[in-house]
Structure 1
Amino acid sequence: MSRLLASILPARVTTDEGDFFVGAAGNDVLLVNATVIGLAGMAGDDTLTGGSGDDFLFGDYFSVDLFDADGDPTTVYDLSVIGDDKIFGGSGSDALIGGPGNDSLFGGRGNDLYVSIGGGADLLVEKVDGGIDTIMTSASTFTLAANFEKLIFSNIFTEVRKDVQGFGNGANNVIVGGLRNDTLKGLGGDDTIAGSGGMDVLTGGTGNDSFAFGIAATENGVYSTGDKADTITDFDPAKDQILLYWNSFAFFDSPRGPMEGVIKAAQFALIGEELTGKEIVLYDQDTGEVMTGNHSIFARVAADTILTYHDFELTYGNWAY
């Protein structure tokens, strides 16, 4: 059985199969013993509990099965159904998705993904040593609570694009901003911070931090203008690093080819030096402006900061997720 319709599902159900269950419009209790594809509450205040598998738990959920132009099935999700839900992950790596209500999401031992769409006052709780856990949110401001490692701003549940503020905790965090002008702060720990799009203000904090660039590059792989440059407020060459996403920067190198790690000395130059055409990073020490090889500004550090090629690292791994 792959689906139980809301009209026939009882108010309490327990399963150990690989099914997708949708609750009714009342206050439902859905439990999982083992592996499950998904549990979804409807209107009402629901309680969803995952099992030992990797579960998908939706707080408020409505779906309509449709067919696209090619006759292939597709599913449309409507998260406008509001309830104050309690969602409990199991021992697997679960996806816990709250709706527009005031939801409570509790992860387990796995590497869990919490999705908070920002419509209510959600409570997100993760245990100590509960895996590497990620929060994806469309809220305007979000601070990582204890035991969470990653914070990703996304507009996947809303068409509104807005400036956001994101703050880490004392752990080693990954913080990824949205497409507007964001303020992101790592606080303690060794953090990786990426503004993604817009003119962002990035602060690493007290740890050995990395600031990532290149994810929001234009189609031809370069930043088109300097008006989207991010500002790094506390870059310390003695302990911090600037990460360059490979697809956006490595094509400047000749010969082209897979590269990862600290860039070469020949790929870095100060403004005013004679250029060879091999540079992928240019730096104006007087202004603190950091540029691609075609002089497009992508970052700013404090003026007179001494940078060398050792401060830049190419990466083509998906560091954010």
Structure 2
Amino acid sequence: MDAYSLAILGNALLSVFALGLMLDPIGLFGDDDDDDDDDTTTIIDDEDQTVTLTEGDDTFTGGSGADTVFAAEGDDQVAGEAGDDVLYGGDGDDLLEGGTGDDAIEGNLGDDILLGGDGDDALVGGSGTDTLVGGAGDDVLTSDRLDEDAAFNRGEAESLSGGDGDDILILSTGDTATGGEGTDQFGVVVVGGEDPATIEDFDTETEVLALYYDPADYDDEEPELTLSIDEDANQTLLSLNGQQVVTLNGVQDLNIEDVALLTEDTLTG
């Protein structure tokens, strides 16, 4: 599997979430957008629902259809259940769970927990300190959102866990990622002034690692990629122009030629 296949990620995620943003959501709890009550709703049929929650702490459980749910303010709990669901967090600290099906989940604001569940899911963090867990299936996890110019909208330090399956994990400096079972691809977007990204379980024999940088941060020149090994800590450290950007725990046999160094705009083709 070639490291350059990571470049398809941005277009895939932008397409998924652009579809959701073009929808015209209906208010499940009435037309009052300022409703701050705490509501609990369960959908039991197989219809495809498009729902906007209230500004309270809401609980929503979907049915077997392909549901689209927009959380608002408040600390919401949203479970898509069966079907290929699209779930958006709001301003609060939300729990968003896809369930079965190939789901798309975005945390947005707040410190959110995103759980893909079964299926091939796409999870995007947001501006808070988020936790992303792909679960079973071949999932795509990215800690922060890409915009149309391939700029990485950096939030706080995130935790990504792919789970079972062959996953793609895109993180930035300051984040921590664990691929889990399967053959995974890791991409690290380098953001200046951040702590190094940490990858917990990189397999040098089968897995892919790419670093993405913004040329403007390096006077429009390609930075120098260097590798060092800390035998005592059982770590490999990757640096760009002398700044450490990645820590690979449990790794001492990585060849620098096996790390792809790409510009950030390749994330969106």
Settle same-fold status: TM greater than 0.5.
Answer: yes
Instruction: Tell me which structure has the larger Cα radius of gyration.
Output: 1
CA distance change for structure 1 residues 311 and 206 in 2, over 3 Å: closer, same or farther? farther
Q: How many Å separate the matches in 1 of 2:34 and 2:41?
A: 8
Task: Please give the per-residue CA displacement for 1:161-210, whole angstroms capped at 9, x wherever unaligned.
Answer: 54x44333122222333644444322321222233342x33221222212
Unaligned runs of 5+ in 1: 1-17, 31-38, 61-78, 156-160, 218-222, 255-277
Deviation at 1:307, TM superposition (A): 1.5
In structure 1, what is the Cα distance between the partners aligned to 2:268 and 2:82? 24
Counterpart for residue 209 of structure 2? 242
For 1:113, which of 87, 92, 105 is the aligned residue? 87
Gaps of 5+ in 2: 1-22, 145-154
Residue identity opposite 2:257 in structure 1: Y
Which of 181, 193, 198 matches 1:206? Answer: 181
Letter in 1 for 2:236: G
Say which structure is richer in helix. Answer: 2
Instruction: Go from structure 1 to structure 2 and tell me whether the alpha carbon gap of 1:144 and 1:180 turns closer, same or farther (over 3 Å shift).
Output: same
* Partner Cα separation in structure 2 for residue 107 and residue 56 of structure 1: 14
Residue 3 of structure 1: aligned partner: none
Greater RCO (CA < 8 Å, at least 6 residues apart): 2
The question of whether the paired residues in 2 share the 8 Å contact of 1:186 and 1:203 is answered with yes
Query: Structure 1 pair 150/206, CA: closer, same or farther in 2 (3 Å)?
Result: same
- Whole-Å separation in 1 of the counterparts to 2:25 and 2:229: 57
- 297, 309, 313: which is aligned to 2:257? 309
SS of the aligned residue for 1:195 comes to strand
Task: Indicate which of 169, 181, 201 corresponds to 2:135.
Answer: 169
Match of 1:192 among 147, 168, 186: 168
Using the alignment, how far apart are the partners of 1:114 and 1:288 within structure 2?
36
Over 3 Å counting, the alpha-carbon distance change for 1:84 and 1:187 in structure 2 is closer
Cα distance change on mapping 1:22 and 1:209 into 2, 3 Å:
closer
TM-score between the two structures when normalised by the length of structure 1: 0.53
Instruction: Please state whether the residue corresponding to 2:89 is helix, strand or coil.
Output: strand
After superposition, residues 1-321 of structure 1 pair within 5 angstroms as: 21-22=26-27, 28=29, 42-44=35-37, 45=39, 57-60=51-54, 79=55, 81-85=56-60, 91=66, 94-97=68-71, 100=74, 103-106=77-80, 109-110=83-84, 112-115=86-89, 119=93, 124-127=97-100, 130-136=101-107, 138-139=110-111, 141-147=113-119, 149-155=121-127, 161-162=128-129, 164-177=130-143, 179-198=155-174, 200-214=175-189, 217=191, 223-224=192-193, 228-245=195-212, 247-248=214-215, 280-285=224-229, 288-292=236-240, 294-302=241-249, 304-312=252-260, 314=262, 316-318=266-268
Name the SS for the 2:258 alignment partner. helix
Task: Let me know the Cα RMSD of the aligned residues.
Answer: 4.4
SS at match of 1:304: coil
TM-score of the pair, normalised by structure 2: 0.61
% same residue: 16
**Aligned residue-pair number:** 227
